[in-house]
Amino acid sequence: MRSLIDVVDFSVEEINELIKTALDIQKNPDMYSESCKGKLLATLFFEPSTRTRLSFETAMLRLGGSVIGFSSASSSSASKGESVADTAKVISEYADIIAMRHYKEGAPLVASENASIPVINAGDGGHCHPTQTLADLLTIYRRHGRFDDITVGFCGDLKFGRTVHSLISALSRYKGVKIVLISPKELKLPEYVIKNVIEKSGLSYVETDSLEEYMSELDVLYMTRVQGERFEDKAEYERLKDSYILTPDKIVTAKSDMTIMHPLPRVNELSVKIDTDSRACYFMQVESGKLMRMALIIKLLKEAKDKNPERRLLNPELVADKFKCKNPACITSTEQEIIHYFKEVDGEYHCAYCDAKI
Ligand code: CP
C-alpha cells in the first residue's frame, strides 16, 4: 500500500507528474469534480491546523468525495490512551485514505504500517511536512519554472521547522541548488538533516545568523515562525521569537523576482507590509497546497485501486530492536509494544521514525 510519509517516498518523476496534474486541475477544475466520487477521506489531526486540514478537506470535496475526521487529540479516543496503530486499523474499516497530523515524530509512519489504506503525513512534530513541501515546490515552479540552479534562503526556526526539513530533502535531488541557512545558533538545522540530507547529496550550503548577508543572491526567501509549541523552556522561546522580522527595508537589495515564501501561520516574523510586494507568494502557496493535495489524493487512491491491498512494509535493511530511541518527541516513546527500527547511515544508527541519532 502506497503512502506519503516523507517527501522522498516519491521520485522526482512522480513529483513532476503531481505538478502537471495540479496545474491541469487549476485550469480545468470541472474535469476533476467527480474524480473521487464515493471515496472517503479521514482527517486525523492530533495537533492544531488551519491550512493543512481544511485544504485536505477542500481537496476531497472538490474531487467529489466525502470527509470524516477530528481536529484535536482531545476529541478522539487518543485521550483515553488509544494507540496510533489501533487508530489506523479502526479508520481503515471506515475510510479510503487517511491524512494524519500528530505531535509525535514518526506517528504517521506507525499509522502507515498498521493501516490497510494509504496514509498521508500531514506533519509529525518537528520532523517532516511533505504535503507542505508539495505546495512549496508547485509555488517555486509557478514562479521560476524550474528547481535546478536556484538559491533558497531559509530563515528563522530551522531546528523545529518541519517544513524546512522536508523542502531541503526535496531540493537535495536537483542540480545546482544552493541553500542559505539563516538562524540564531539555538535554532540551527538539526545535525541529521545536515549530515544525512545535505552533505550526502552534495547540496551546496552556508550557515549565517544575518538575514541581509546573502539577500541579493536569493531566488527564494523562505521565512518561518519560531515554533513556540516545541520549546521545553518557554523563556528561551520568548528570547528567540523575534530573532528575524521581515520588513520592506530588509529586502531593498533583493532580486526583483525573488519569491518570498512562508508556510503560515505567521506571528511577528513577516510584516503585513510585505503582503503588497509583488514578490510575496505565501497566499499563492496556500492555493498550491490545495491543488497538490487534490493531485496527491487522486494518485494515492488510484494506486490503492490498481494494486492488491497490503500493509506498508518498512525497508528490510532496517535494524530491529537493537537500541531504544531517546528522543522524547519520538512516537516510540509512547506507542505500546512498538518495534524500534533503526537505519545505518555511514556507521551511525538513526531512529527510523524520527531520524534522531542514537
Ligand atoms: N502550513 C501549515 O501547516 O499550516 P497549518 O498548521 O495551519 O496546517
Grid cell at residue 316: 528490510
Residue 51 Cβ contacting ligand 1 at under 6 Å: yes
Mean pLDDT in residue range 204-215: 97
pLDDT, tens digit (0-9, with 9 covering 90-100), for 234-248 = 999 999 999 999 999
Q: What confidence score (pLDDT) does residue 165 get?
A: 95
What global pTM score does this model have?
0.95
Residue 89 burial by Cβ neighbours in a 10 Å radius (0-12, 13-18, 19+): middle
Q: What is the CATH superfamily name and number for domain 7-128+287-303?
A: Aspartate/ornithine carbamoyltransferase (3.40.50.1370)
Distance 132 CA to ligand 1 centre (A): 8
Q: What is the pLDDT of residues 25-64, one digit of tens each?
A: 999 999 999 999 999 999 999 999 999 999 999 999 999 9
Q: What average pLDDT does range 257-285 have in this prediction?
A: 97
Residue 322 confidence (pLDDT)? 86
Phi-psi sector, 38: left (phi>0), alpha (psi -120 to 50), beta: left
Which pLDDT does position 266 carry in this prediction?
A: 97
230 is catalytic: no
Give the three-class secondary structure for 199.
helix
Could you read off the pLDDT of 276-311 as tens digits, one per residue?
999 999 999 999 999 999 999 999 999 998 765 555
State residue 310's pLDDT score. Answer: 57
Most informative mutation of 43, 49, 139 for ligand 1 (most atoms within 8 A of CB) = 49
Instruction: Tell me how far the alpha carbon of residue 55 lies from the centroid of ligand 1, in angstroms.
Output: 9
Return the closest-CA partner of residue 166 out of 284, 52, 35: 52
pLDDT tens by residue, 114-142: 999 999 999 999 999 999 999 999 999 99
CA of 342 to the centre of ligand 1 (A): 29
pLDDT value of residue 308: 56
Whether 18 shows a pLDDT value over 60: the answer reads yes
CATH architecture of the domain 130-283 equals 3-Layer(aba) Sandwich (3.40)
In the chain, CATH 3.40.50.1370 covers 7-128+287-303, 130-283
